[in-house]
Amino acid sequence: MAITGFFILNALFLVAAELSLLIFLAQAYCAVPQRTAQADLALKTLVVAGLIYIAAKFIYEFRNKAQDKLKAIQKEKWSKEKVFFVVCFAVFTVWFIWQICLVMSPIVSDLCVFR
């Protein structure tokens, strides 16, 4: 779990600036008293495209960080410990990403253009 958390958080820190900027821009826009339908659509597009980009970059960074560890595992003979490690790594990876999605979902869905 610690190894998985390290890889997830390491990859997340690399995309955190983009994610923070995207959320800041969206929340700042929502605080503006005069909004237009065209600007609302532009913000929706920006948020969706930004989240897709950030997700792709996160997956790319995570894969690069975990690839070295997994290559070292592949060189070893498949044993019960190795299978257990790989299964735990996969389960905890899904769990950590799910937790991140649970935290991000209300932030994004609460933006003024998605209500």
d(CA 90, CA 98): 12
Task: Inform me whether the pLDDT recorded for 72 exceeds 80.
Answer: no
Give the model confidence (pLDDT) of 18-44 as tens digits: 999 999 999 999 999 988 999 999 999
> Do 114 and 108 meet the contact criterion of CB atoms below 8 Å apart?
yes
Helices (H) and strands (E) in the chain, counts: 3, 0
Out of 30-39, 50-59, 65-74, 90-99, least confident range? 65-74
Q: Where are the domains of the chain?
A: 2-114
pLDDT reported for residue 65: 80
- Distances in Å between the Cα of 12 and the Cα atoms of 18, 55, 93 are 10, 10, 12
**Measured in whole angstroms, how far is the alpha carbon of residue 40 from the centre of its chain?**
24
Question: What pTM did the predictor assign?
Answer: 0.78
The alpha-carbon radius of gyration of the chain (Å, integer) is 18
